[in-house]
Amino acid sequence: MYEKELEAVSHFSLDGAPVKIEPIICGNINSTFKVTLDNGHNYVLQNVNANVFKKPEELMANVAGVCSHLKKKLAATGGDAEHGVMNFATSDNGSLLYINDEGKYYRLYLFIEGVSYQSISRPELFYSAGEAFGNFQSLLADYPAQTLNETIVNFHNTVSRYKDFQAAVMGCKLPERLEESKEECLFFESREPLTHIAVDALKAGKMPLRVTHNDTKLNNVLIDPVTDKGVCVIDLDTVMPGSVLYDFGDAIRFGACTTAEDEPDTSKIAVDLDLFETFTRGFIAGLGGALTDEEYDHLADGALLMTYECGLRFLSDYLNGDTYFRITSEKHNLIRARAQIALLRDMEKKLPEMKRIIRECRA
Ligand code: GN1
Ligand code: MG
């Protein structure tokens, strides 16, 4: 069992020998394993999906740069520089990656104690997640953004995502899937103007380009189960220049939703405004309030934008024959897309309320 993984682990310099490997079921892209050594130390082994991340070396250069910056900043600001940052092991080729005979890319980092929650059971958790993601962005505010590689080109460029969607429709080789998702396609077409919100503002210099995390799902922040405080922001694969709307919006899309992102019963799906407010307060506190008027005015739009984008990506993947996201059932991507549509419809109704909450949190 797990021979490939064991072989990969053997290429990293460690302080003990592995005695146990178990899969950690999380994420839709990479494969993740917990590795226990004979001295009791734990590590996380990840097989980086090179179909999604075309240049894993460039990706790890970003991650290394960001981690070392975070470590210095945490040490200087009285934060937890030991547990608050990911620590990667070096492989026997001197880099942070090991490439096996099949061309698979592996990396290994010290396991960090903390819970990765899939949903909110207590509002405090969501406040802490907001604070952690806000603080993450604030710690990276002086990071030299021009040195970051674009690990996925046009990742949150919604205008370009829309073109990809159109290409998926036009080039669809699965006519039954296209027929089945006619209504969903029409929905995304009707909301196309949304795609310009951040892209145009960034282009026109109306909104600042920041170093953002870009995948701010609740499960990407480890939380101390005793204090309910954020310990460490993980999954740094998509840290790239972007808009604060992306980080705020994606966190709301995932964490303030009343259901999981793949809930088949769309009648259960809504945005919970109390959770929306809780996250907003934590996020603004973590950021130290350092946002421009334009950003504050459009934060709530960010939630709609990221829900739209994610739904569009799920649907495009369904039409492309499920080549990107990991799926566990035949219609998984269609179900996910439908769930995002239901959430977006509810957000559209509640947008004035969401904007009012943001004004109040700012005051
Ligand atoms: C992917 O693998 P995971 O769960 O960290 C995806 C995100 C999506 C998310 C939807 C690199 O993230 O953009 O929002 O699935 N990551 C990438 O669940 O595409
Ligand atoms: Mg991820």
Average pLDDT score over residue span 81-88: 94
Report the pLDDT averaged over residues 316-336.
98
To which H or E segment does residue 235 belong? none
Residue tagged 């909450």 (tokens) = 357
> Which pLDDT belongs to residue 1?
81
- Residues 311-335, mean pLDDT to the nearest whole number: 98
Rounded distance from Cα 179 to ligand 2 centre (Å): 31
Q: What is the pLDDT of residue 363?
A: 79
Q: Please state the domain count of the chain.
A: 2
- Nearest atom within ligand 1 for CA of residue 238: 11
Mean predicted confidence (pLDDT) in 232-252: 97
Residue 129 pLDDT exceeds 90: yes
Q: What is the mean pLDDT of residues 302-312?
A: 98
- Given 62, 89, 110, the domain boundary residue is 110
**What percentage of residues in the chain have a pLDDT greater than 90?**
96
- What percentage of the chain carries pLDDT values higher than 70? 100
Structural domain includes residue 224: yes
pLDDT tens per residue across span 287-297: 998 899 999 99
Q: Is residue 246 part of a domain?
A: yes
Question: Do the domain assignments include residue 117?
Answer: no
Stretch (H or E) spanning 312? helix 293-319
Q: Residue with the nearest Cα to atom 1 of ligand 1?
A: 28
Ligand 1 atom closest to the Cα of residue 28 is: 2
**Does 172 fall in a domain?**
yes
Same domain, 76 and 35: yes
pLDDT of residue 360: 97
Mean pLDDT across the stretch 284-311? 97
Same domain assignment for residues 51 and 154:
no
For residue 141, pLDDT over 90 is answered with yes
| Residues whose CB is less than 8 angstroms from the CB of residue 338 and which lie 6 or more positions away in sequence, other chains included | 184, 264, 266
Please report the atom of ligand 1 found closest to the CA of residue 30.
Answer: 2
Per-residue pLDDT, averaged over 176-204, amounts to: 98
- CATH number at 189 reads 3.90.1200.10
How far is residue 359's CA from residue 356's CA, in Å, rounded to a whole number? 5
Average pLDDT, the chain: 97
- Give the distance (Å) from ligand 2 centre to CA of residue 360: 31
Q: Where are the beta strands (DSSP E) in 25-116?
A: 31-37, 42-48, 98-99, 105-110
Q: What is the CA radius of gyration of the chain?
A: 20
User: 28: Cβ below 6 Å to ligand 1?
Assistant: yes
Looking at the structure, tell me whether residues 95 and 184 fall in a common domain: no
* Averaged pLDDT, 335-344: 99
Last residue of a domain, one of 67, 89, 110: 110
At residue 56, does pLDDT exceed 90? yes
Mean pLDDT (whole number) for 338-361: 98
Assess whether 167 and 45 both reside in one domain.
no
pLDDT at 232: 97
The answer as to whether 217 is a domain residue is yes
- Judge if 131 and 30 occupy the same domain: no
**CATH number for the domain including 87?**
3.30.200
Tell me if 184 is assigned to some domain.
yes
Question: What is the structure's pLDDT at 354?
Answer: 98
Q: Are 233 and 198 in contact (CB under 8 A)?
A: no
User: What per-residue confidence (pLDDT) applies to 76?
Assistant: 94
Residues 168, 284 within the same domain: yes
| Domain annotation covers residue 248 | yes
Residue 50 in this model has a pLDDT that exceeds 90: yes
Judgement on whether residues 192 and 339 belong to the same structural domain of the protein: yes
Whether 59 and 196 share a structural domain:
no
- Note whether 229 and 134 are same-domain residues: yes
- Whether residue 149 sits in one domain with residue 87: no
Judgement on whether residues 85 and 160 belong to the same structural domain of the protein: no
Ligand 1 atom at shortest distance from the alpha carbon of 152: 11
Same domain, 129 and 278: yes
Is the residue at 307 inside a domain? yes
- Which two three-digit tokens encode residue 220? 């990407």
Residue 28 one-letter amino acid? N
Question: Residue 263 sits in which domain range?
Answer: 123-362
pLDDT of residue 187: 98
The pick from 25, 26, 28, 213 for probing ligand 1's pocket by mutation, whose C-beta has the most ligand atoms within 8 angstroms, reads 28
Q: Whose CA is nearest to atom 13 of ligand 1?
A: 215
Single residue among 57, 85, 110 that ends a domain in this structure? 110
SS3 content of the chain, % helix, strand, coil (to 5): 50, 15, 35
The Å distance, Cα 270 to ligand 2 centre, comes to: 23
CB burial string 153-190: b at 16+ within 10 A, e below: eebbbbeebbebbeebbeebeeeebbeebeebbebbee
Q: Which residues surround ligand 2, an ion (CB under 5 A)?
A: 215, 235
Q: Which residue has the tokens 């020998």?
A: 17
